[in-house]
Structure 1
């Protein structure tokens, strides 16, 4: 049996085929770049229709190459927090608001939760611009056509492809409207969102499976009999793909953005442990939660520096960074895209400091990389306060897989903890597949973990 894993990110759509142990098959990868529209006013949106076209192109490419022939299961890792308004015909009434978008704000005269700490403990979130409790009222104010219902990006995409596409518990937890214990929509959060009957997605039951619609099965006949598993939030999938599925290991993932997260076993109906004020908590599935902190900056720091600072490339860049100590570089505030919850810094809060005429582009890049390491180190200490002892750290994601210097900077910032890195850059897809297979417990054994000073394979 093979597994088709879809990774629906902010900067790319990827489809790859994995074997029964969730290991990528050589060459069975299709990727399309997507470009969020980002402006200084805090705009951070995607074109939903264009995104769907990219996903279809990936599936077409894999089908033509024969990679879908033995696929029996489709697993999906998808970005959390996205939302788009839909009309009565199911068509988008505007772009997809991503986690990057910092424009939504509470409407005048709305007071917020009666007990903010109780709200935080129940939903794992805050009354914040990143979540649907603030986003839905704001979208109503900024959408000229009447809105019939709301969906996340992945529900819209799968709703166009499958016979049904309810919202997974994992994705629902990222809206900020879900009670993490009961796994039902939280009454107070829904009231703050002004969510009326029928406007929110149906919640997927445990072990839900979907099928392709008839017209799409004719387009991709290899997937006619394949089951589609409920999507998983990208952060939860990345933890599982990194082999970090219990309190002994914490995942630090650097893709377009970055996060530090810890997974715990917590079946539905169980009272969650106390949640520190500065951390969020979401659902991996019906039996696990993930707790942590996220940042708007990650690999996008390198992308910005590469575009604007004329960095050297490849081995030349690695050699130049090797001359900078892991704690070196120019001091930087890396909040270029503003804060993720619970912070409220707006987009455009980034800074580079201590510059002179002798400062180099590589020193500026190193300072930004180190700035992210320091944020993670601070929040990791808070995260460890929720468990019995300090944890090992596993670095993952394309950005750290590509940069030996960044791995070493993280190792220095997080010392004396042991710091490893996951050599497989497709941790989101791998994790989503393991969750779909019901094999979260096998993630540690299957993880391809190495030392932070090892170089990745050219593949």
Structure 2
């Protein structure tokens, strides 16, 4: 049995084929870059139809090379929090709003949850621009004729499978799900102004989809393959990093960065305490993932290298090796992209201090990367309070894989914890496959 794993990311869409142990097969990878449209007003959007086209192109490439032969299961990891307004026929009425978009805001006079703490504990989220509780009314006020709403994977699956059911993992990222009851939260739905039929149906445990006839003809190797419910990218990255229980936290640095911990929590179970500044989502029907995330990660790494015209990889690493993490003269606030919830600091909040005429571009780069490490360290200590113990840490993601110095900086900031690095660059896709097969 082979598994086709789809990674519906923010900066790219990828398809790769894994064996039954969820190990990527050599060469069986197709990737297409996608571009988030950003502006000074806080927009962060994707063209949903163009994104679907990029995914189809990946599958065409894999099919042409014969890589889809023997695939019996399709798993997907997808960016959380996205939403696209649709007309009655399921066509987008505007661009897909990603997690990067900071424009949504509550309407004039809108009231939030009656009990903020209870709302946070039930949904794992806040009444915040990041979630559908604020995004949906904001979109409806700007786009006439909205018939319903979908996230990125629901839009994609509705086209490919004819069934855009939403997994509990993806639903938890909307801020509308009661995490214990595994159903839409009545108060959150009311805050979002949702009308009957405007939300995707929730996929039950054991849900499986199949390709529509036209796509089965296009990719005959996938004709009889089952499609599993998508897993939120953060949850999938934890599982793919080997952090499937509360003994190990995953620190993942992809486009953004996050620290997360998975715990068992079957439907109806009493949920563990949730500190005020941490979010909580679902991995699947049996597990929750608690953590926090940051707007700066690999995107920050790439931006600094580009704008400061830093040397290429080997030369840059050699220059960084002369600097000791935690002992830098330059200090940095790495929030160039603003806060992720519950903070509401807008984009443009990043800062550097301690700069003189002798300061080099490499020192400024190091300070920003070290700043991310200390953000993570502070929040990991809070995350550990939910399990009342110190946990081991697994570093993952393409950005830290590319920099030995950044891995060293994380080890220093997270000491005395045990810190190791997982080298698999496809932890999200691997994790989605493990969740889909139940082989955690």
State TM-score, norm by structure 2.
0.99
- Is residue 2:430 matched to residue 1:430? yes
Structure 1 distance, partners of 2:357, 2:35, is 34
C-alpha contact (below 8 Å) 2:8/2:76 kept by paired residues: yes
In structure 2, the residue matched to 1:15 is 15
In 2, are the aligned partners of 1:329 and 1:366 still within 8 Å (CA)? no
Partner of 2:102: 102
Secondary structure of 1:165's partner? Answer: coil
Residues 255 and 296 in structure 2, CA contact (< 8 A), matched pair in contact too: yes
Pairwise CA distance, 1:39:
1.5
* TM-superposition CA deviations, 1:124-160 (whole Å, max 9, x none): 00000000000000001111x3100000011101111
- For structure 1, the residue ranges without an aligned partner over 5 or more in a row are 441-459
Q: C-alpha distance in 2, partners of 1:358/1:26?
A: 47
Give deviations 1:73-128, integer Å, cap 9, x for gaps: 00000000000100111100001111101110111111100000000000000000
- Rounded Cα–Cα distance in structure 1 between residues aligned with 2:196 and 2:162: 22
8 Å CA contact retained: 1:326, 1:408: yes
Alignment of 1:358-437 (within 5 A): 358-437=358-437
Measure the CA separation in 1 of the matches of 2:285 and 2:369: 35
Counterpart for residue 249 of structure 2: 250
Runs of 4+ in 1 over 4 A off after TM superposition: none
Aligned equivalents of 1:172, 1:247: Cα separation in 2: 22
Q: 1:450 is matched with which residue?
A: none
- Distance, in Å, in 2 between the alignment partners of 1:359 and 1:32 is 38
Shift of 1:439: 1.0
Q: Secondary structure at the match of 2:113?
A: coil
Matched, 1:152 2:151: yes
TM-score, scaled relative to structure 1 = 0.95
Three-state SS of the structure 1 residue aligned to 2:339 is coil
Corresponding residue of 2:184: 185
Displacement after TM superposition at 1:200 (Å): 0.5
The count of corresponding residues between Structure 1 and Structure 2 is 439
Aligned-partner SS, 2:291: strand
Per-residue deviation at 1:246?
A: 1.1
How far apart, CA to CA, are the structure 1 residues paired with 2:106 and 2:33?
33
Number of the residue aligned with 1:57: 57
Q: CA deviation at 1:329?
A: 6.1
Which residue does 1:112 correspond to in 2?
112
Separation in 2 of the partners of 1:182 and 1:59?
A: 36
Q: What whole-Å deviation, never above 9, does each CA across 1:302-359 have from its counterpart, x for those lacking one?
A: 1111221111112111111111112236311111111101000001111122222222
Q: Which residue of 1 aligns with 2:172?
A: 173
* SS class of match (1:368): helix
Distance 2:352 2:299 in 1: 15
Residue 83 of structure 2: aligned partner: 83
The answer as to whether partners of 1:40 and 1:348 remain within 8 angstroms in 2 is no
Distance 1:255 1:435 in 2: 20
Q: Deviations over 1:254-312 (max 9, x none)?
A: 00001000000000011101111010000000000000000011000111112211111
The residue aligned with 2:270 is 271
1:168–1:232 Cα contact (<8 Å) kept: yes
Q: What does 1:229-244 align with in structure 2 at a 5 Å threshold?
A: 229-244=228-243
2:305 matched to 1:311?
no
For residues 352 and 409 of structure 1, the distance between their equivalents in structure 2, rounded to whole angstroms, comes to 18
The equivalences for 1:32-71 within 5 A come to 32-71=32-71
Matching residue of 2:222: 223
Deviations 1:366-425 (A, max 9, x none): 111100001000100000001131000000000111111111100000000011111101
Q: Does the CA contact (< 8 Å) of 1:37 and 1:43 recur in 2?
A: yes
- Give the SS at the match of 1:290: strand
Name the SS for the 1:281 alignment partner.
strand
SS at match of 2:109: coil
Aligned partners of 2:303 and 2:70: how far apart in 1? 40
- 1:260 alignment partner in structure 2: 259
- Tell me how large the CA RMSD over aligned residues is: 0.8
**1:125 and 2:130 correspond:** no
- Tell me if structure 1 keeps the 8 A contact 2:329–2:354: no
Q: Where does residue 338 of structure 2 map in the other structure?
A: 338
Per the alignment, in what secondary structure is the counterpart of residue 318 of structure 2?
Answer: helix
**Contact preservation (8 Å) 1:78, 1:234:** yes
Q: Is the 8 A contact 1:329 1:365 kept in 2?
A: no
Give the secondary-structure state (helix, strand or coil) at the position aligned to 2:191. helix
